[in-house]
Amino acid sequence: MTTYNQKRRAQVVCALLLHVPLVAIAAYALARGEFGGSLGLMGVALVSTVAATLMIVPYIGRVLDGGAVAAE
């Protein structure tokens, strides 16, 4: 497997793992029969996971390319 494919695989796996809390919230709401009442919470979870994904995927790409990442 090429380095490019390994990098993309790592990025996709991390992006999917970031969405685990959203899936857990949806599963909990479905199990309790309160799906409609949990839409606000699921919306917040969706926005936060998408924002985290948009921040972490480029970072992982830079790290795996060997680029310098400034410490803050």
Instruction: Give residue 47's pLDDT.
Output: 92
E strands of the chain, at which residues? none
pLDDT at 58 over 80: yes
Residue 58: name the closest of 23, 19, 8, 22 by CA.
8
CB 22 within 8 A of CB 42: yes
CB 62 within 8 A of CB 69: yes
Instruction: Give residue 51's pLDDT.
Output: 92
Instruction: Give residue 66's pLDDT.
Output: 74
Give pLDDT tens digits for 8-50. Answer: 888 888 888 888 988 998 898 889 888 888 889 889 988 999 9
CB 2 within 8 A of CB 56: no
